[in-house]
Amino acid sequence: MTTKYAICNETFEGWHHERVCGRAAELGYTGLEVAPFTLAPRITDVTAARRAELRKQAEAAGVQIIGLHWLLAKTEGFQLTSPDAAVRKKTGEYLAEMARAAAELGGDVLVLGSPFQRNIPEGHTLAQAEDFALDTLGYTLKALEQSKVYLCLEPLTPAETNFMNTAAEGAAMCRRLAHPFVKLHLDVKAMSAEAAPTPDVIRANTEFFHHFHANDPNKRGPGFGSTDFKPIFRALRDVNYTGWVSVEVFDYSPDPDTIARESIRYMRECDAG
């Protein structure tokens, strides 16, 4: 099984899209994951012509735009868990626009992290927040089907949000939605906060597992911290994972080129071990 490596475009802060695609391809990545805020304040501001141009530039360089993440970051007025039905509808419909955009860019994945836009609203319970989230996502499902784009729910640590903190909770949400285009995303940094070791979390959550972020709990790339990725890649092989392994960092030091180059070098080393 040949691992498909991708990297998130915001890593290359300030670089033009065409340059990002070219350098990622040179380093051995075949996928590029895009944060919408790097393109425009809202995904709806990116015209069909611009989407086609971005896709063409990526493909000319030899990479595929695999989808979008940080879906609601740096936006206002959206909330997955809002008690307000109008806000839920607006948020769900915006996520539907994300699905259409991802497909037009050449991808089929949406990673729903966005911790600030999914906290349990004040005065409400976790159960109520889950119901609100399910209602919000109901407005997205038709677009997922039409675009053939998978919405991947991303559990995050309690330090980031108080909603959907474990892979098991993410899987439970997938189960309740019971939709073929709603899946589970696993992230190494997020899984590091779980009680079980990361490889065990991967093996225990295969039912909906569809997309994967490689990073270290220190917010840097694979190999830039203490996490040993050899057991992690072994677990990915054990569960026959065939999706993307996408590098996502939050600390952009020392520079984009070093992060991208050393991350893929280390991952290949671990994957071969």
- pLDDT above 70: residue 189: yes
pLDDT at position 84: 98
Distance CA 27, CA 47 (A): 30
Distance CA 91, CA 133 (A): 10
Average pLDDT over residues 9-29: 97
| DSSP characters over 48-108 | HHHHHHHHHHHHHHT-EEEEE-STTTT-SS--TT-S-HHHHHHHHHHHHHHHHHHHHHT--
User: Over the stretch 129-174, which tens digit does the pLDDT of each residue have?
Assistant: 999 999 999 999 999 999 999 999 999 999 999 999 999 999 999 9
Share of the chain above pLDDT 90, in %: 99
Q: What value does the CA radius of gyration of the chain take, rounded to a whole number of Å?
A: 18
Give the end-to-end CA distance of the chain in Å, rounded to a whole number: 14
Neighbours of 196 (CB within 10 A): 14
pLDDT at position 11: 98
User: Over the stretch 68-125, which tens digit does the pLDDT of each residue have?
Assistant: 999 999 999 999 999 999 999 999 999 999 999 999 999 999 999 999 999 999 999 9
pLDDT, the chain, mean: 97
Integer CA distances (angstroms), 215 to 15, 92, 179, 182, 239, in order: 21, 29, 28, 23, 20
- pLDDT above 70: residue 1: no
∠ CA 85-89-92, rounded to 5°: 135
Q: Before 254, cis peptide (omega within 30)?
A: yes
H-assigned helices in the chain = 17-27, 48-61, 85-105, 126-138, 141-147, 167-177, 188-191, 198-204, 230-238, 256-272
The answer to whether 32 and 6 have CB atoms below 8 angstroms apart is: yes
**pTM score, two decimals?**
0.97
